[in-house]
Structure 1
Amino acid sequence: SERASSLPELNLVLCGSDGALKASVSDLLLGQREQRSVCVIRKGEVCGHLITLVEMPALYNTQLSEQEVMRLTLHCVSTCDPGVHAFLFIVPVGPLTDEVKAEIQMIQRIFSSRVNDHTIILFTNPYGTDKAAARFVEQSSETEQLLSMCGGRYIILKKSLAHDRPKQVLPLLNQIKEKVNVENLYSLLMYVEAQKDGVRLELESRLAEMEKTIQQLKTKQLQT
């Protein structure tokens, strides 16, 4: 519609190892429930913005092959034309699990460290009080390290995700606009460059390993 086309657009990608949490946050942001597929792409008008919301599947410890992971991540970025405004990484309040840590590493490997400039951590708080959640986030050394990677940007969602939706969603949208460089999007070109860098580093690693093996063989020959 003419009204929708005049609204400011935000392209968001939901990341994380817990599919159920991603679905809950997605429903919260758009204010509606929807059946899930492998890679969910949803659109809606939220607080005066036209939102494109992509639920990226978990990348670590899944049944997906390396080729499928690359295809899905490419699809996530290419869907968000002209680029991704923010990657929203969903983390439950509490000690970081091995799955969460591995998911972070996978995202860094696939999208490169440039993704950090566009990342906001969404802490979900299924247990305890909101004050206790805030205290844990502020005092945890693991959490501090995670936040330092993405410029300290984070939001703590309420214990009940459906509770008082506008008061939860609006601060998140404001933080995206204020603290993420919405003019400098994470683009498809950045993704392609990340893949090129990944291939180059892997080749350099293999070459170094081959040179090491050759040197070891030469040393053995000299000793015989």
Structure 2
Amino acid sequence: MSCVWFCWEEPVRGKVQRETILGNRCFNAEVSMSSVTKECKSVCGTVEGRKLVLVDTPGFFDTDLTTEELQQEVIHCLALCSPGPHAFLLVIPIERYTEEQQRTVEMILEMFNKDISNHSILIFSHADKLREESIERFVSRQNQKVQDLVERFGRRFIAFDNTNPTNPEQVSRLLQKVDELLVMNENRHFTNEVTEAMQTAQKIIEERMQAETAERTRKIKEDVKKMADLRRAEFIAAMNQERQETEQKRKFIQGRIGQIQMEIKKAQQNLQRFRASLRMEQENLRTLVEREMKKEIERMEKEEKEKKDLDIWIQEEEQRRLSEGAQKNPLSPDYNKILFMLTMFMMGIGASFAPALLPLLFPAAPAVEAGFAAGLLTNMLAAEGWGFVWVAAGVAKAAVLTRCSIQ
């Protein structure tokens, strides 16, 4: 991707030249870096199948710029076409070349130690004023200042007609000049002490960002590891507590066995009873031992599963720290629908059996029939609306019949 640096006399003329080169192929994305008083813009586009980056530098012929401001503008523009431009395009109006413009050119050359002369192309704008005269002939009859300017830049110059921006021939001629310049410079970017220092600074910034990212990742892993260790410690403590409780139960049962055995020796008259009790306690001990052996196997399996789950959790927790989310799945109870269906049954074919069914369903009918009817009416009204008032009335009637039947 060729990086071309434009140096304009006025921003409006720079816009015309940029649109002449890129036309409607210009991407709708511009990057800008503002200096103290001026602004650089980087515009990307594709011309004749080639991707171009044009860095617009308005104000280089602005005599109000100080040397320090001009140097700062140069650094800003270089940052927009890192690692360096392939070509510099110096745009000069064809109608005049003033002393102020000549001093600005000298400042630019001095700023780059004249390194840009082998990477530059002169563009004479407003070529429509040449009429039928060629640019070569026009340049040949100019004063010595213009001749020196052309010679200084290797006689690489081209004319642009601002009144005909859709003319593709002048863009093709410019790209041809750029290609010749690239061949001469072996496709190398323009570099000097400024660009090298800028690349070094960018490398330092990138390394610092990588170091900060690595440090952040390390801290996240440390936090997750601490949480995992805490969970592991809590799990082990719970397992130890369970083992201690089991040991206490085992010792208690063993103590009971010993006590029973001593009582057998002391009371021969109760030997049969104590032997039966002893067999029962021994059976309890055997059952407990079998149960605890089974639990121990389950605990070992649970511990292995917890270890695997913990490893998975560590990975998931690291990802969760970067993007957290939660999902909730509400449940919808259907209690009111069941009440409604039961009530319909009671009011339908089961209405005649209501007095007999209610005492079976509600043994304490005298105390609860009124509450039952009221609760049923409330659920029906809340679930189905006032259209079922007649159902509630039927329930009340069933409750009255039930009271009469019970009395």
Q: Compute the TM-score of the two structures, normalised by the length of structure 2.
A: 0.41
Which of structures 1 and 2 has the larger relative contact order (alpha carbons within 8 angstroms, sep 6+)? Answer: 1
User: In the TM superposition, what is the alpha-carbon distance from 1:163 to its structure 2 partner?
Assistant: 3.9
- Matching of residues 1-224 of structure 1 within 5 Å: 9-32=1-24, 38-124=39-125, 125-131=127-133, 133-140=135-142, 141-158=144-161, 160-164=163-167, 166-180=168-182, 181=185, 183-187=187-191, 189=193, 191=195
3-state SS in 2 of match to 1:131: coil
Q: Which amino acid aligns with 2:102?
A: K
State the identity as a percent: 24
Contact preservation (8 Å) 2:135, 2:158: no
3-state SS in 1 of match to 2:150: helix
The count of residues paired between Structure 1 and Structure 2 equals: 184
User: In the TM superposition, what is the alpha-carbon distance from 1:49 to its structure 2 partner?
Assistant: 1.1
Structure with more of its chain in strand, by fraction: 1
Would the alpha carbon gap of residues 39 and 182 (structure 1) be closer, same or farther in structure 2, given more than 3 Å must change? farther
Q: Compute the TM-score of the two structures, normalised by the length of structure 1.
A: 0.71
Distance 1:93 1:39 in 2: 24
Would the alpha carbon gap of residues 190 and 182 (structure 1) be closer, same or farther in structure 2, given more than 3 Å must change? farther
Instruction: Could you tell me which runs of 5 or more consecutive residues in structure 1 were left unpaired when the two chains were aligned.
Output: 1-8, 194-224
Contact preservation (8 Å) 1:59, 1:106: no
User: In the TM superposition, what is the alpha-carbon distance from 1:54 to its structure 2 partner?
Assistant: 0.6
Contact preservation (8 Å) 1:134, 1:156: no
For residues 176-211 of structure 1, what are the alpha-carbon distances to aligned partners after superposition, in whole Å with 9 as ceiling and x for unaligned?
Answer: 111342523212535568xxxxxxxxxxxxxxxxxx
Q: Which amino acid aligns with 1:110?
A: M
3-state SS in 2 of match to 1:127: helix
Instruction: Could you tell me which runs of 5 or more consecutive residues in structure 2 were left unpaired when the two chains were aligned.
Output: 33-37, 198-407
Distance 2:172 2:191 in 1: 25
3-state SS in 2 of match to 1:39: strand
Match of 1:4 in 2: none
Aligned-residue CA RMSD (Å)? 2.7
For residues 102-132 of structure 1, what are the alpha-carbon distances to aligned partners after superposition, in whole Å with 9 as ceiling and x for unaligned?
Answer: 2211211222201101110001124241415
Distance 1:118 1:171 in 2: 17
Determine which structure has more spread, i.e. the larger CA radius of gyration: 2
Distance 1:113 1:161 in 2: 33
Q: Which amino acid aligns with 1:131?
A: E
Distance 2:135 2:69 in 1: 36
User: In the TM superposition, what is the alpha-carbon distance from 1:89 to its structure 2 partner?
Assistant: 0.4
